[in-house]
Structure 1
Amino acid sequence: MYRIYLYLLHFYYIGSDMKIEYIKNSDVSRALIGVPKGHRHLRVILILKDKRVLIFSEATIANLTRAYVNIKTHPEKRAIELKLTKGDNFKSGYAKYQLLEVERNEDEIEEEITRILALQ
Protein backbone atom coordinates (compact mmCIF):
# COMPACT_ATOMS: atom_id res chain seq x y z
CA MET A 1 0.00 0.00 0.00
CA TYR A 2 2.83 2.39 0.85
CA ARG A 3 4.44 1.85 -2.58
CA ILE A 4 1.14 2.60 -4.31
CA TYR A 5 0.88 5.81 -2.29
CA LEU A 6 4.44 6.77 -3.27
CA TYR A 7 3.70 6.02 -6.92
CA LEU A 8 0.61 8.23 -6.84
CA LEU A 9 2.62 11.01 -5.19
CA HIS A 10 5.28 10.61 -7.84
CA PHE A 11 2.73 10.75 -10.66
CA TYR A 12 0.84 13.73 -9.22
CA TYR A 13 3.68 15.91 -8.02
CA ILE A 14 6.52 15.02 -10.34
CA GLY A 15 5.02 13.40 -13.42
CA SER A 16 5.10 9.82 -14.56
CA ASP A 17 7.90 10.47 -17.05
CA MET A 18 10.38 12.06 -14.64
CA LYS A 19 13.38 10.24 -13.25
CA ILE A 20 14.55 11.10 -9.74
CA GLU A 21 18.26 11.16 -9.16
CA TYR A 22 20.17 12.33 -6.10
CA ILE A 23 23.78 13.30 -6.76
CA LYS A 24 26.08 13.44 -3.76
CA ASN A 25 29.66 14.67 -3.45
CA SER A 26 30.79 11.04 -3.47
CA ASP A 27 29.18 10.61 -6.94
CA VAL A 28 31.28 13.41 -8.48
CA SER A 29 34.80 12.58 -9.58
CA ARG A 30 35.61 16.08 -10.89
CA ALA A 31 34.08 19.51 -11.44
CA LEU A 32 35.23 21.98 -14.07
CA ILE A 33 34.16 25.63 -13.81
CA GLY A 34 35.11 28.31 -16.31
CA VAL A 35 34.38 30.11 -19.55
CA PRO A 36 35.00 27.97 -22.66
CA LYS A 37 37.20 29.54 -25.34
CA GLY A 38 35.08 31.54 -27.76
CA HIS A 39 32.23 31.93 -25.24
CA ARG A 40 31.27 34.71 -22.85
CA HIS A 41 29.45 32.78 -20.14
CA LEU A 42 30.61 30.42 -17.42
CA ARG A 43 29.87 26.69 -17.54
CA VAL A 44 29.90 24.22 -14.67
CA ILE A 45 30.70 20.66 -15.69
CA LEU A 46 30.28 17.78 -13.25
CA ILE A 47 31.98 14.56 -14.25
CA LEU A 48 30.37 11.74 -12.32
CA LYS A 49 32.11 8.55 -11.23
CA ASP A 50 29.80 6.52 -13.49
CA LYS A 51 31.15 8.53 -16.48
CA ARG A 52 28.05 10.70 -16.95
CA VAL A 53 28.71 14.40 -17.52
CA LEU A 54 26.34 17.17 -16.40
CA ILE A 55 26.81 20.64 -17.90
CA PHE A 56 25.15 23.69 -16.34
CA SER A 57 24.90 27.16 -17.87
CA GLU A 58 25.95 30.27 -16.01
CA ALA A 59 22.30 31.38 -15.81
CA THR A 60 21.26 28.12 -14.13
CA ILE A 61 24.10 28.27 -11.61
CA ALA A 62 23.40 31.97 -10.92
CA ASN A 63 19.71 31.29 -10.31
CA LEU A 64 20.42 28.37 -7.97
CA THR A 65 23.17 30.31 -6.18
CA ARG A 66 20.87 33.29 -5.63
CA ALA A 67 18.22 31.02 -4.06
CA TYR A 68 20.82 29.13 -2.00
CA VAL A 69 22.36 32.32 -0.60
CA ASN A 70 18.90 33.74 0.10
CA ILE A 71 17.93 30.71 2.21
CA LYS A 72 21.29 30.34 3.98
CA THR A 73 21.60 34.03 4.91
CA HIS A 74 17.97 34.88 5.68
CA PRO A 75 17.03 34.59 9.37
CA GLU A 76 13.60 33.09 8.63
CA LYS A 77 13.43 31.77 5.05
CA ARG A 78 13.54 27.96 4.86
CA ALA A 79 12.59 27.07 1.29
CA ILE A 80 12.21 28.60 -2.16
CA GLU A 81 10.66 27.37 -5.38
CA LEU A 82 12.12 28.60 -8.64
CA LYS A 83 10.12 28.26 -11.84
CA LEU A 84 11.20 28.60 -15.45
CA THR A 85 10.24 32.03 -16.78
CA LYS A 86 10.73 33.34 -20.32
CA GLY A 87 11.24 37.07 -20.34
CA ASP A 88 11.47 39.65 -23.07
CA ASN A 89 12.04 42.53 -20.65
CA PHE A 90 14.94 41.19 -18.59
CA LYS A 91 17.91 43.49 -18.03
CA SER A 92 20.55 43.56 -20.73
CA GLY A 93 22.92 40.59 -20.60
CA TYR A 94 20.47 38.27 -18.84
CA ALA A 95 19.47 34.95 -20.40
CA LYS A 96 16.05 34.85 -22.04
CA TYR A 97 15.04 32.02 -19.71
CA GLN A 98 15.46 32.38 -15.95
CA LEU A 99 14.55 30.34 -12.90
CA LEU A 100 12.68 32.90 -10.83
CA GLU A 101 11.22 32.71 -7.34
CA VAL A 102 7.48 32.11 -7.14
CA GLU A 103 5.12 32.90 -4.29
CA ARG A 104 4.51 29.63 -2.48
CA ASN A 105 4.15 28.61 1.13
CA GLU A 106 7.49 27.39 2.52
CA ASP A 107 5.80 24.51 4.37
CA GLU A 108 4.38 23.25 1.05
CA ILE A 109 7.81 23.43 -0.58
CA GLU A 110 9.43 21.52 2.29
CA GLU A 111 6.69 18.88 2.12
CA GLU A 112 7.21 18.44 -1.63
CA ILE A 113 10.98 18.11 -1.14
CA THR A 114 10.36 15.44 1.51
CA ARG A 115 7.95 13.52 -0.76
CA ILE A 116 10.36 13.58 -3.69
CA LEU A 117 13.27 12.35 -1.54
CA ALA A 118 11.09 9.49 -0.29
CA LEU A 119 10.62 8.30 -3.90
CA GLN A 120 14.28 7.80 -4.72
Structure 2
Amino acid sequence: MEQPRVYPNECVRRIIAFIPEGHMHTRFILNLGDQVIVLHEATVAALVRAYALVATHPTRQAVELESRRLGKGERKPGYAEWQLLETGRSEEEVLEEAQRLWARGVIVECHSGSE
Protein backbone atom coordinates (compact mmCIF):
# COMPACT_ATOMS: atom_id res chain seq x y z
CA MET A 1 0.00 0.00 0.00
CA GLU A 2 1.18 3.50 -0.81
CA GLN A 3 2.35 5.73 1.98
CA PRO A 4 -0.44 8.17 2.87
CA ARG A 5 0.16 11.86 2.19
CA VAL A 6 -1.34 14.29 4.68
CA TYR A 7 -2.28 17.67 3.21
CA PRO A 8 -2.53 20.48 5.78
CA ASN A 9 -5.23 23.03 4.98
CA GLU A 10 -2.63 25.54 3.78
CA CYS A 11 -1.65 23.12 1.00
CA VAL A 12 -5.05 23.40 -0.63
CA ARG A 13 -4.39 26.16 -3.15
CA ARG A 14 -7.83 26.28 -4.76
CA ILE A 15 -11.12 24.46 -5.04
CA ILE A 16 -13.24 24.92 -8.16
CA ALA A 17 -16.78 23.58 -8.46
CA PHE A 18 -18.28 23.51 -11.95
CA ILE A 19 -20.67 21.65 -14.21
CA PRO A 20 -18.95 20.64 -17.46
CA GLU A 21 -20.72 21.54 -20.68
CA GLY A 22 -23.10 18.77 -21.67
CA HIS A 23 -23.22 17.31 -18.14
CA MET A 24 -25.72 17.59 -15.31
CA HIS A 25 -23.53 16.93 -12.28
CA THR A 26 -20.92 19.05 -10.55
CA ARG A 27 -17.21 18.28 -10.66
CA PHE A 28 -14.69 19.57 -8.13
CA ILE A 29 -11.10 20.48 -8.90
CA LEU A 30 -8.71 20.43 -5.93
CA ASN A 31 -5.37 22.09 -6.56
CA LEU A 32 -3.06 20.74 -3.87
CA GLY A 33 0.12 22.40 -5.13
CA ASP A 34 1.89 19.16 -6.04
CA GLN A 35 -1.12 17.66 -7.82
CA VAL A 36 -4.58 18.46 -9.12
CA ILE A 37 -7.46 16.10 -8.36
CA VAL A 38 -10.89 16.12 -10.01
CA LEU A 39 -13.75 14.55 -8.05
CA HIS A 40 -17.26 13.77 -9.23
CA GLU A 41 -20.31 15.06 -7.39
CA ALA A 42 -21.19 11.59 -6.09
CA THR A 43 -17.76 11.29 -4.45
CA VAL A 44 -18.08 14.66 -2.74
CA ALA A 45 -21.61 13.75 -1.63
CA ALA A 46 -20.20 10.57 -0.07
CA LEU A 47 -17.48 12.61 1.69
CA VAL A 48 -20.11 14.97 3.08
CA ARG A 49 -22.26 12.02 4.16
CA ALA A 50 -19.31 10.36 5.94
CA TYR A 51 -18.38 13.68 7.54
CA ALA A 52 -21.92 14.18 8.83
CA LEU A 53 -22.13 10.62 10.16
CA VAL A 54 -19.02 11.22 12.30
CA ALA A 55 -18.95 14.96 13.04
CA THR A 56 -22.59 15.33 14.09
CA HIS A 57 -22.83 12.12 16.11
CA PRO A 58 -22.22 12.50 19.85
CA THR A 59 -19.89 9.49 20.14
CA ARG A 60 -19.12 8.06 16.69
CA GLN A 61 -15.46 8.35 15.68
CA ALA A 62 -15.23 6.52 12.35
CA VAL A 63 -17.19 5.26 9.38
CA GLU A 64 -16.04 3.48 6.23
CA LEU A 65 -17.60 3.81 2.79
CA GLU A 66 -16.60 1.42 0.02
CA SER A 67 -17.28 1.41 -3.70
CA ARG A 68 -19.97 -1.06 -4.77
CA ARG A 69 -21.58 -1.69 -8.13
CA LEU A 70 -25.37 -1.66 -7.89
CA GLY A 71 -27.80 -3.05 -10.44
CA LYS A 72 -30.77 -0.99 -11.64
CA GLY A 73 -33.08 -2.67 -9.13
CA GLU A 74 -30.74 -1.86 -6.23
CA ARG A 75 -30.29 1.88 -6.74
CA LYS A 76 -32.51 4.93 -6.87
CA PRO A 77 -33.52 6.15 -10.35
CA GLY A 78 -30.93 8.57 -11.73
CA TYR A 79 -28.20 7.42 -9.34
CA ALA A 80 -24.84 6.14 -10.56
CA GLU A 81 -24.13 2.45 -11.01
CA TRP A 82 -21.13 2.73 -8.67
CA GLN A 83 -21.95 3.95 -5.15
CA LEU A 84 -19.88 4.59 -2.02
CA LEU A 85 -21.78 2.76 0.74
CA GLU A 86 -21.16 1.94 4.39
CA THR A 87 -19.28 -1.33 4.75
CA GLY A 88 -20.73 -2.54 8.02
CA ARG A 89 -17.27 -3.00 9.56
CA SER A 90 -17.20 -2.15 13.23
CA GLU A 91 -16.33 1.40 14.19
CA GLU A 92 -13.43 0.11 16.30
CA GLU A 93 -11.95 -1.82 13.37
CA VAL A 94 -12.25 1.15 11.00
CA LEU A 95 -10.79 3.53 13.60
CA GLU A 96 -7.80 1.25 14.25
CA GLU A 97 -7.03 1.01 10.53
CA ALA A 98 -7.42 4.77 10.05
CA GLN A 99 -5.09 5.51 12.96
CA ARG A 100 -2.46 3.10 11.57
CA LEU A 101 -2.65 4.82 8.17
CA TRP A 102 -2.55 8.27 9.76
CA ALA A 103 0.54 7.33 11.78
CA ARG A 104 2.33 6.20 8.58
CA GLY A 105 1.40 9.39 6.76
CA VAL A 106 3.89 11.94 5.56
CA ILE A 107 2.92 15.58 5.92
CA VAL A 108 3.20 17.30 2.55
CA GLU A 109 5.46 20.36 2.67
CA CYS A 110 3.78 23.29 0.99
CA HIS A 111 3.99 27.03 0.83
CA SER A 112 1.00 29.07 1.88
CA GLY A 113 -0.46 31.47 -0.64
CA SER A 114 -0.01 31.38 -4.40
CA GLU A 115 3.30 31.32 -6.18
**Superposed CA offset, 1:20-79 (max 9, x none):** 2222211111110121222111111001223x2100001111111111111111223221
Q: How does 1:53-64 map to 2 (within 5 A)?
A: 53-64=36-47
In 1, the alpha carbon distance for the partners of 2:7 and 2:82 equals 24
Shift of 1:19: 4.1
Residue 102 (1) aligns with residue 87 (2): yes
**Superposed CA offset, 1:2-34 (max 9, x none):** xxxxxxxxxxxxx3xx34222221111111012
In 1, the alpha carbon distance for the partners of 2:11 and 2:43 equals 21
What is the TM-score normalised by the length of structure 2? 0.82
Which residue in the other structure is 1:85 paired with?
68
**In percent, how many aligned pairs have the same letter?**
41
RMSD after superposition = 1.3
Answer 1 or 2: which has greater helix percent. Answer: 1
Q: Alignment length, in residue pairs?
A: 103
Tell me the SS of whatever aligns to 2:5.
coil
Could you say which structure has the greater relative contact order, defined with CA pairs below 8 angstroms and 6 or more residues apart? Answer: 2
- For structure 2, which runs of at least 5 residues remain unmatched after alignment? 106-115
